[in-house]
A and B are shown apart, each in its own frame.
Chain A
Amino acid sequence: MNSVLRYTGIFVVLVLLQLLVFNNIQFSGYINPYVYVLLIIILPLSMPSWVVLIIAFLAGFIIDAFSGTMGVHTFASVMAGFVRPWIISLNMTHEAADPDISPSVQNNGLRWFFLFAIMIVLVHHLALFYVEVFSFSGFFRTFLRVIVSTLFTTFFILLLDMIGWRR
């Protein structure tokens, strides 16, 4: 029960952080970090996948509703939530020993957490940017945006995790 309450707090803080701070950060007019993906990353590895999907949907929907991009973030978040089990099984090494704790640098080591986070962010951003443009024309330009934004978002996610903002 305690962890549910704590996660709700994290949820609110991250959504506010995304809407008020990170939506205002733009590097060279193209890159906008979407740190709220961290909400999907830090769910315990043992969590049933349908619960992950619902949380991802809620997160995407709230971001969508408040930034006026109906459907785009919802689509990307649900996609990221859906592929999460496969990414977990891809990364199933001894570092992921305890499936009941929430993934972080401290719990799983920098290497493991970095790989896990960047894979989920990449899936999220792939869905996000291609759905936003809604066409494959200019495929490589969109792809470049995906790659650069993925790096930036992952950087900020690692930074947030390392400064121990959850405590």
Chain B
Amino acid sequence: MRSLLNFLLRHKTLILFLFMEGLALFMLSSSHNYHQTVVSNSARSISGRLTEKVERGRSYFRLKDVNEGLARENLLLRQRLEILQIDTVTPFIAFSDTVRKLNYSFLDARVVNNSVSRQKNFITIDKGRDDGVVNGMGVACSEGILGIVVGVSRNYSVAMSLLNLDFRLSASIAHNDYFGSLTWDGRNYRNAQLSEIPHHVTVTPGDTIVTSGYSAIFPPGLMIGTLTGDKKKGGDFVTLKVELSPDFKKLTHVFIIGSLNKQEIRSLEEEVVNE
């Protein structure tokens, strides 16, 4: 007993070291559902408040860009409105999204924390459970999609950024509707990769990549980015390089997208699979 005690005392540094590294790795490995852990939740609400203050100051320097973006969006909406008004005159146009058949709801929010330099980036937003945000909702800005909500506290939520090695989303080429899987390879924060596109599909640089709407997170047709023209062949498919249209380094105003039919779609799909 005494020799055991002596042994432990003699190697206390090594034992402490191994114990702490073990603890760190444990925290790391359970970080996929760390949003539920108490420690990080309370730390997040403190740091959320703190970074919100800093962000409020920094957002002043971005007002010019934000204004330009809003003006551009206004113009776009006005153009769309024009088209809609013309359409209503012509017969045989049926609008699927009437008041009763809305598919998605939107909520505006502000970014309080964001990173692009890590391999696994997250975006913190100032809307939380009290505002109706739940896990699995989409986050986008007027330029394009940004990420998916993975953690929610009372007043804040954390979204897994598109710039995260674990991010995966079904996306399609706008003009021919071929869809593939959109991921980020951890290199440049301006580029993402669209994989699983068959060889015979012809693409040209500048083609628009949009959401496919298959996962019921984002509505179909939301902007993601444009093709740069670089492609990588491997097996039966090619991987295309996508230049992301939102600049992840200057995010301020975003909106959260909730699908109203996701539950129904998911339960139907599960029902079929289980049979």
Judged by DSSP, the binding face of A is helix
| B116:A29 contact, CB within 8 angstroms | yes
List the 8 closest A-B pairs by CB distance, nearest first: A71-B28, A71-B27, A75-B24, A65-B43, A74-B24, A70-B31, A66-B47, A70-B27
Q: How far is the CB of A130 from chain B (nearest CB, A)?
A: 11
Among residues 220 to 270 in chain B, which have CB atoms less than 8 Å away from a CB atom of chain A?
A: 249
Which segment of A2-10, A18-26, A38-46, A111-119 sits at the interface?
A: A18-26
Q: How far is the CB of A61 from chain B (nearest CB, A)?
A: 8
| A75:B17 contact, CB within 8 angstroms | no
Among residues 135 to 187 in chain B, which have CB atoms less than 8 Å away from a CB atom of chain A?
A: 158, 165, 186-187
Chain B residues closer than 8 Å to A57, beta-carbon distance: 20
| B189:A75 contact, CB within 8 angstroms | no
Chain B residues closer than 8 Å to A32, beta-carbon distance: 117-118
Chain B residues closer than 8 Å to A139, beta-carbon distance: none
Give CA–CA (A30, B12) in the complex, Å.
38
Q: A50-B12, A74-B24 are in contact. Are A82 and B17 (CB under 8 A)?
A: yes
Q: How far is the CB of A14 from chain B (nearest CB, A)?
A: 16
Give CA–CA (A69, B122) in the complex, Å.
10
Give CA–CA (A23, B116) in the complex, Å.
11
Determine whether B54 belongs to the interface, using a CB cutoff of 8 Å to chain A.
yes
| B189:A71 contact, CB within 8 angstroms | no
Interface residues on A, range: 35 or more
Chain A residues closer than 8 Å to B20, beta-carbon distance: 53, 57, 74, 78
Q: List 18 A-B contacts (CB under 8 A).
A: A24-B54, A26-B249, A30-B117, A32-B117, A32-B118, A65-B40, A66-B47, A67-B115, A68-B40, A68-B122, A70-B40, A74-B20, A74-B24, A75-B25, A75-B28, A78-B20, A134-B28, A141-B187
Give CA–CA (A75, B18) in the complex, Å.
10
